[in-house]
Structure 1
């Protein structure tokens, strides 16, 4: 499948990365270069903890010339994807700085813009293997100067994910980690493992999917594959072409923004193993026993802490949902509802948590829930923020049908259990909900009960 979305990006102009005096910068090309075509040239821009904002252009021919390049540290390579307009990625400097803020790592930005900037996407794909060849040479030179392959971390975005895979394969899967952020799907979807990223390319491969219905890769590619919001439409991204250039690239680029959030540690996104996103939304996949005492893995940089258990499990698909902007993390609650209406009710719940001057909201509306007399209904409620303490709870019951008579829903009990902590569940007993009317109450600690 040709990535038709990219054609519409050719007329878009982004702001170039500014350069500092005496610092090497990312290659800045134009739409003219992309139309004429460019020959691949790999440039490696080194940032270190001691010089985090000024890049040094490094070469494998003489690594000893760079005393600031401490090969005993972890070295993280950041590899961009297709650049149809030739301009530098606006996110490069942010992810580099965040990586160095987390650890005293070396960051090497892999600038293959002369090779990625081409209106002919097929040519850019062809250049991914060539770029991997050159990157492999550099890493081998690092190894000859004392670097351990296990200390190498490749972060590849879109086409960069497959460059990471090709590089790892040439190094016999011995590099420490590959992180793939929405790996490119077009021209890779039906390729065998040797023609794309796969789990054997590194000791640990973690993958994020955000645009599987357009520019991204649909199937699992790593030891763990995270599907944010099911891997398709991301909250806050335009749904139609009226959204302008964001309609074409927002879902795909969200992968980098989510990863940045994990580096900055604004909050934590816990992800849950599940056969499908639908079952995850239905609240059928809230069990984390599979992962032992550590619980379900968190998305992002820190998922490496789950490496051993994930390697023992094989390929694992996990799901999580996000907000439309940073901080992206949502807080998950198991909501158990027991009703005593004689007639079955179908509908949706909106739940608000009230704390000390704060409010968090979750609407369970992906499909109508079924409420039957004395039968428990379990829902997954995903709140937009984390409250340290919950003072009050508000509920709104709705059916989504304005033409039918309004119904009431009488709750024998509602129980809320926060999945990301060991807090005692909150309950309320005998609550009457009138359709579309908000009811607020103070929760109490749950009693020991089978209801």
Structure 2
């Protein structure tokens, strides 16, 4: 249902570009190379403005003069996009995607903060030293906007890696009155262990949300916002290379995933629901599938619409909220969360893993191997396992289950199931599917037709 709206906006904006802004210069993001990185680049900041009236033709904003662009309407929401360290000098590959996706959603000012001259260097320490200088330049321009009638409430900063801390420095200079800051995998090296005024912090804006996607390398592990999202636990991201043989992608894929997850949230193909939890392990074990302890009683979504979740504002001194979720390997990254409830009637306790596969009449299948930790099945006790699927089928014609103890040798066991139930987390009102009285032979796939669950207590 969301795709047609996005498509309509695309057509509308395409029509607006029929009469391009001819005769006026378009500015581009600074494109450097490895030579510049080796010799070093002095800091220079270029502010590139995009609006719905100049989608494909950036206008440069002069930092030293009064507001000089007829495209900049200070009454609108203004988004600053701040990139991070650029070791090779090339423009980030996600720039146009994030700019255009934002403008598809809302009529706003999008200002790309190009500090590539200053971020391009083989010496990371030099780029990190420039972050506060960039923040001071941004504050001077925001001051001009405020003098023209802009509101801090309408200022939204999206910072990537080092850019996340730049955004935090700007927010700190305004005593946390900026409307919002989103940190996309804030840089960890040289910032870990720093005091709040030396890095991004929840006090830097009215709402601070952070996506951590590379906490074991280039990113920052600890929480830095009002709500911190940890896709796939915040470490290794699915679809990213696992060995150094993959070249540069091995080093940057996890780090960049935060940006691609955010961009995916702009396109409205699906909303990535997340689950507040103490740890990724607890989330994977299905211990955090309810958001009833928060107001409103809904789980937060990651990305652009994260600010619609205001549970953190209910308390006077809100605790840090960490939210966990899993993703697919590629855009739009969404997966479907289900609970598989199993009640067994084995007299002896069984321990093992379950693999579940869903099938449609058309022959489409999706599988979830629930193998995070060994499940313990005891007689007449319900075990609820969190299953994650790459696809979400409205109508399931067949289900298969396979039980395994993980042992290669030794006796084969049976799991006698009194009832199995499949229920959606995202849509609790959806029809629940059940099957009663079946026996799973170890390592043997058992296929059956599910039926609507009976309204009985078990």
TM range (shorter): over 0.9
Change (3 A) 1:308 1:277: closer
RMSD value, Cα:
1.5
| 2:146 alignment partner, SS class | helix
Partner SS for 2:102: helix
Partner of 1:360: 366
Is 1:430 the counterpart of 2:437 in the alignment? Answer: yes
Q: Partners of 2:279 and 2:297 in 1: how far apart?
A: 23
| Unpaired stretches in structure 2, ≥5 consecutive residues | 1-21
1:8 corresponds to which residue? none
Tell me which residue corresponds to 1:334.
339
Contact 2:295 2:310 (8 Å CA) reproduced = no
Matched, 1:304 2:307: yes
The match for 1:369 is 375
Structure 2 residue 426 is matched with structure 1 residue 420: yes
C-alpha deviation, 1:327, in angstroms:
2.0
**Equivalent residue in structure 1 for 2:404, among 375, 391, 398:** 398
Residues 175 and 204, structure 2, Cα contact 8 Å, conserved in 1 = yes
Q: How far, CA to CA, are the matches of 2:74 and 2:360 in structure 1?
A: 48
Shift of 1:408: 1.5
Distance 1:444 1:292 in 2: 35
Query: Which moved further from structure 2: 71-80 or 416-425?
Result: 416-425
Distance 2:247 2:372 in 1: 27
Output one character per residue of 1:239-277: Cα deviation in whole Å (capped at 9) or x when no partner.
111222111111101111111110111212111111110
Partners in 2 of 1:262 and 1:154 — Cα distance? 16
Question: How many Å separate the matches in 1 of 2:104 and 2:222?
Answer: 32
> 8 Å contact 1:333–1:418 — kept in the other structure?
yes
Could you give the per-residue CA deviations for residues 365-415 of structure 1, whole angstroms, max 9, x where no partner exists? 112211112121111111111212222211121222222222211110111
Q: Secondary structure at the match of 1:380?
A: strand
Kept in 1: contact 2:296–2:309 (CA 8 A) = no
Contact 1:166/1:197 (CA < 8 Å) preserved in 2?
Answer: yes
**2:295–2:314 contact (8 Å) kept in structure 1:** no
Pairwise CA distance, 1:121 = 0.8
CA contact (8 A) 2:296 2:311 kept: no
Q: Deviations over 1:268-319 (max 9, x none)?
A: 2111111110111011111110234551111111111113545634320110
- Report the equivalent of 2:274: 271
Paired residues, number:
432
Q: Is contact 1:153–1:176 with CA below 8 Å preserved after alignment?
A: yes
Mean Cα deviation higher: 427-436 or 255-264: 427-436
Query: Which of these residues, 323, 327, 335, is aligned with residue 328 of structure 2?
Result: 323
Counterparts of 1:56 and 1:78, CA distance in 2: 15
Question: Any idea what SS the aligned residue of 1:289 has?
Answer: coil
For 2:171 and 2:42, the matched residues in 1 are separated by 23
Match of 2:178 among 175, 178, 185: 175
Task: Tell whether the 8 Å contact from 1:353 to 1:394 is kept in structure 2 after alignment.
Answer: yes
Partner of 2:5: none
Distance in 2 separating the partners of 1:432 and 1:364: 18
